[in-house]
Structure 1
Amino acid sequence: MSQQEIIASLPAHLRQFVKVQDYNQYTPRDHAAWRFLLLSLIDHMATHAHPVYLEGLRKTGISADHIPSIDEMNQCLGKIGWQAVVVDGFIPPAIFMEFQARKILVIALDMRTIDHMLYTPAPDIVHESAGHAPFIVDVDYAEFLQRFGEIGMKALSTASDYAVYEAIRHLSIVKEAVRSKAEDIDAAEAALAEALRINAAESPSEASLLSRLHWWTVEYGLVGELDDYKIYGAGLLSSLGEGVNCLDDNKVRKLPLTVDAINTPYDITREQPQLFVTKSCKHLTQVLETFAHGMAFRKGGAESVRKAIVCKTVCTTVYSSGLQVSGKLVKAKTDAMDNLIYIGTEGPTQLAWAGRELHGHGVDYHAQGFGSPVGKIKDMPRCLSEYTMDELKSAGIVVGQRTVLDFVSGVHVEGLLDHVERREHKNILFSFSDCRVVAPMNAKGEAGETLFEPSWGQYDMAVGDRIISVFGGTADKDRYRLYDQEDAEPTARVHYSTDEASLFSLYQELRDARTKNTISEAFLLQLHAQLDDYPHEWLLRFECLELTKDTAFSAKLHKELEALAALSAEHKKLIATGCARLPC
């Protein structure tokens, strides 16, 4: 499928995040940087990565010679049941997870700049394609990755989680921008530090804990034994720095992977002091499922509702009938045994079933919130959702007539029953007019709180004797969107000067000559002479060194590169890495 066909196949709430790759945006120097990084990574990872890595590069359409085309990648990915889309930098974690659940790799559009080749603060096409794509050719790993997405998109998150995401995104944009001012970077770093401080003061949410598990597996995982392991984490596979340094057992501790890894936070600004080793890809899924077993979407009940209330974000509560209530939970009444008897939301709320909004029950209608009892009706042994319309009539519950519902919990509902909404032979919603809802008496025998009065208008009562699930986000994501990409800060695009354009033409000349196999010493000497105008351009000098056979000329290039290596620690590392893979 082409990029446009894949985009058209997506639901609207995901489609808004997807861009179209303009292959012409990549400069000849971008392709040279890609080539340098991939050849260096392959040289290192051939020994230290899991054997699937090199096979995966081939099978996912990734060549060391040029930045990958997403259309070419999709021709290869389609054969193994996956797809790829391109996005602009960071996207909300829940959206990222939903793409993954749909077996879609999210690839950042941008190529890291030559100033950030060892490490980029922003997502880029090196990390997202050469890091993440290769291992999905392994069936067990691909299943783990998809399952991670399915679980991750349901995790409860807090408002401060999202604030951290936005601060990280902003900082990455500012840092990667070529002409950012120091004060702008300082301000962005301070904003992130403050967001992290607020977030750290809270108990970590499900989403936060799951992000740690993602970091220690998908991003920075090792596989094998503690004393005999290989790299599979995308963050390590795409890093010339940490991908090498992590192998030093004296500096980086290796721990066996268990679900307890969620107790280890990570710092994205520095190399990690420890890494976790999984036994196998199947073991990854076992650890993931162990974590998921304790999540609110699996457990339901009062504990899960209280978790959601603490988060103060929009989530979805699922009744045993299948009715889904999406909104910010603020109320959870329970009985003496901690069984839920009433829940309530505030602000825009959506009612849905099987992920589709019920007609007339969107956020405009339920703009102020929604509240409803939970439990069984007195003298009715089955859940109210399970009765046929005839059985309801026999129990005195008739559309068009005044109806009284006394719950076992003591909640009292009385009003004119206007409508019963049914799905797949189940009652999921009762709608009343002239309705009053009263909470149970308290322990002192005093009248319970009035939960709904006739003057408030129509009362819609959810049907279900239990809350079976609570998950992050909304049920019908297209009709109730939590994220708007149009409001997101766009990644800064680089505008090159005439002088830089002339430099890029030299890169293209060398690239064309290599492709056509017309490299000669005279050509290299002529090209090198033009580099006098670009005294700090190390990468093009290195490309010349790769191709020269003349001892005197190569010695000259070595000398120039040695001088450039003294400019910074990054220059030194990159030049040393490149020279190490050249023939002596």
Structure 2
Amino acid sequence: MPQPSTSASGLRGEYEGAREDYTLAQDWHTYTPAMHDRWRHLYARQSALAATHAARSFREGLARLDCANGIPRFDEANRVIATATGWQLVAVPGFIPDAVFFEHLAHRRFPVTRWLREEHELDYLVEPDVFHDFFGHVPMLLDPAVADFLELYGRAGAKAMAMGALDMLARLYWYTIEFGLICEEGANGRALKAFGAGILSSAGETRFSVEDSAVLRLPFDPARVQRTGYRIDTFQQTYFVLDSLEQLIAQLSALDLSPLYAEGRHAPPVEPGALLPGETPFTLAGEPNP
């Protein structure tokens, strides 16, 4: 998503060795046995939660990537991803500038941070690491609807920057690719499932996002999404629920973003957790949240 301005100061990662587009070699051989052990621990915990709480596309994509035994090699994953949707992974030091991020997405290149969190950061991390980026995001790149949405999102970046509406576009990514929910049919009927990487790479938020009865969930509406503020220091207070992943690309393709930007770029965002007049929260039973 649009990210903080990048400098080598205050951010983790070896920015000095990055190319002009902020890519660099993954240098897979530099990962230590302790790092691979840490990955296996994180993978075991999160994949167990994903088995019951993650969207079908995520579970299927994770199985195809076969990355349970250690930090994956991007070149090996690229063979799977390219065959499925034409995307490829590129290694980056960490946060990268907005324009560079959009350029990568517009050309079906997904930036993946190459460093791994430390042992004391297993439950909370300020910056995205290779586990968040690969485990959380890459399985969904195998779904054609998400793959197409991300390319379209990358192409939308230039307009948002030109109109001073980058915050609005960022919210669309935040509430879908990072913290999106979907309602899926299963063996026991309809159920809430997570597909956002910020949810699925966090043990606590995986449960919270789909199980907590008090949190506000709303039907997906891209205009409402782009007006809604979000939290970076705790679990989200609002989630948006898709009927299908195809809804992402269909609604974004049909939406003229320019009027939304012109109207909303100077307006304060709707507070996280706020229900606006006339809105009905999403529930599986079709009734308002308690």
Output the TM-score relative to the length of structure 2: 0.76
- Residue in 2 aligned with 1:84? 89
Asked whether the equivalents of residues 192 and 210 of structure 2 are also in contact (C-alpha less than 8 Å), the reply is no
| SS in structure 1 at match of 2:117 | coil
| SS in structure 2 at match of 1:251 | coil
Is residue 256 from structure 1 mapped to residue 235 from structure 2 by the alignment?
A: no
Rg: which structure is higher? 1
- Residue in 1 aligned with 2:156? 151
Asked whether the equivalents of residues 87 and 147 of structure 2 are also in contact (C-alpha less than 8 Å), the reply is no
- Residue in 2 aligned with 1:8? none
- How far apart in 2 are the matches of 1:289 and 1:206? 18
The residue type paired with residue 25 of structure 1 is T
Deviation of the 1:287 alpha carbon: 3.1
The residue type paired with residue 250 of structure 2 is Q
Asked whether the equivalents of residues 145 and 248 of structure 2 are also in contact (C-alpha less than 8 Å), the reply is no
| SS in structure 1 at match of 2:170 | helix
1:206 aligned residue (158, 165, 182): 165
Task: Specify every segment of 5 or more residues in structure 1 that has no aligned partner in the other structure, as ranges.
Answer: 1-12, 159-204, 311-584
1:53 aligned residue (34, 40, 58): 58
The residue type paired with residue 238 of structure 2 is Q
Deviations 1:451-482 (A, max 9, x none): xxxxxxxxxxxxxxxxxxxxxxxxxxxxxxxx
- How far apart in 1 are the matches of 2:165 and 2:252? 12
- Between the aligned residues of both structures, percent identity stands at 34
Matched ranges for 1:227-242 at <5 A: 228-242=191-205
The residue type paired with residue 224 of structure 1 is C
- How far apart in 2 are the matches of 1:213 and 1:268? 15
1:221 aligned residue (167, 173, 180): 180
- How far apart in 2 are the matches of 1:138 and 1:156? 28
Relative to structure 1, is the Cα distance of residues 122 and 155 closer, same or farther in structure 2, using a 3 angstrom cutoff? same
- How far apart in 2 are the matches of 1:290 and 1:267? 28
Asked whether the equivalents of residues 194 and 209 of structure 2 are also in contact (C-alpha less than 8 Å), the reply is no
The residue type paired with residue 71 of structure 2 is I
- How far apart in 1 are the matches of 2:47 and 2:158? 33
Q: CA RMSD in A?
A: 2.6
Relative to structure 1, is the Cα distance of residues 144 and 246 closer, same or farther in structure 2, using a 3 angstrom cutoff? same
- Residue in 2 aligned with 1:74? 78
- Residue in 2 aligned with 1:106? 111
| SS in structure 1 at match of 2:231 | coil
1:38 aligned residue (40, 43, 66): 43
Relative to structure 1, is the Cα distance of residues 99 and 92 closer, same or farther in structure 2, using a 3 angstrom cutoff? same
- Residue in 2 aligned with 1:537? none
Deviations 1:283-312 (A, max 9, x none): 112332354x1328x99xxx79xx9xx9xx
Asked whether the equivalents of residues 24 and 91 of structure 2 are also in contact (C-alpha less than 8 Å), the reply is yes
- How far apart in 1 are the matches of 2:111 and 2:70? 19
- How far apart in 2 are the matches of 1:128 and 1:95? 17
Matched ranges for 1:272-287 at <5 A: 272-287=236-251
Asked whether the equivalents of residues 62 and 130 of structure 1 are also in contact (C-alpha less than 8 Å), the reply is no
The residue type paired with residue 45 of structure 1 is A
Deviation of the 1:140 alpha carbon: 1.6
Structure with greater contact order relative to length (CA < 8 Å, sep ≥ 6): 2
The residue type paired with residue 265 of structure 1 is G
Asked whether the equivalents of residues 251 and 273 of structure 1 are also in contact (C-alpha less than 8 Å), the reply is no
- How far apart in 2 are the matches of 1:102 and 1:229? 32
Asked whether the equivalents of residues 88 and 109 of structure 1 are also in contact (C-alpha less than 8 Å), the reply is yes
Deviation of the 1:87 alpha carbon: 0.4
- How far apart in 2 are the matches of 1:228 and 1:253? 16
| SS in structure 1 at match of 2:236 | coil
Deviation of the 1:48 alpha carbon: 1.0
Is residue 124 from structure 1 mapped to residue 88 from structure 2 by the alignment?
A: no
Q: Runs ≥4 in structure 1, deviation > 4 angstroms?
A: none
- How far apart in 2 are the matches of 1:14 and 1:213? 28
| SS in structure 2 at match of 1:132 | helix
Deviation of the 1:42 alpha carbon: 1.0
Relative to structure 1, is the Cα distance of residues 14 and 151 closer, same or farther in structure 2, using a 3 angstrom cutoff? farther
Deviations 1:516-560 (A, max 9, x none): xxxxxxxxxxxxxxxxxxxxxxxxxxxxxxxxxxxxxxxxxxxxx
Is residue 65 from structure 1 mapped to residue 28 from structure 2 by the alignment?
A: no
Is residue 142 from structure 1 mapped to residue 105 from structure 2 by the alignment?
A: no
Deviation of the 1:273 alpha carbon: 1.1
Matched ranges for 1:369-448 at <5 A: none
Deviation of the 1:157 alpha carbon: 5.7
Task: Specify every segment of 5 or more residues in structure 2 that has no aligned partner in the other structure, as ranges.
Answer: 1-17, 185-189, 267-290
- How far apart in 1 are the matches of 2:51 and 2:71? 20
2:209 aligned residue (246, 250, 253): 246
| SS in structure 2 at match of 1:230 | strand
The residue type paired with residue 270 of structure 1 is T
Asked whether the equivalents of residues 206 and 295 of structure 1 are also in contact (C-alpha less than 8 Å), the reply is no
The residue type paired with residue 208 of structure 2 is N
Output the TM-score relative to the length of structure 1: 0.39
Relative to structure 1, is the Cα distance of residues 14 and 282 closer, same or farther in structure 2, using a 3 angstrom cutoff? farther
Deviation of the 1:209 alpha carbon: 0.3
- Residue in 2 aligned with 1:400? none
Deviations 1:124-171 (A, max 9, x none): 11111111111122212211121111112432268xxxxxxxxxxxxx
Deviations 1:392-424 (A, max 9, x none): xxxxxxxxxxxxxxxxxxxxxxxxxxxxxxxxx
Matched ranges for 1:23-34 at <5 A: 23-34=28-39
The residue type paired with residue 178 of structure 2 is E
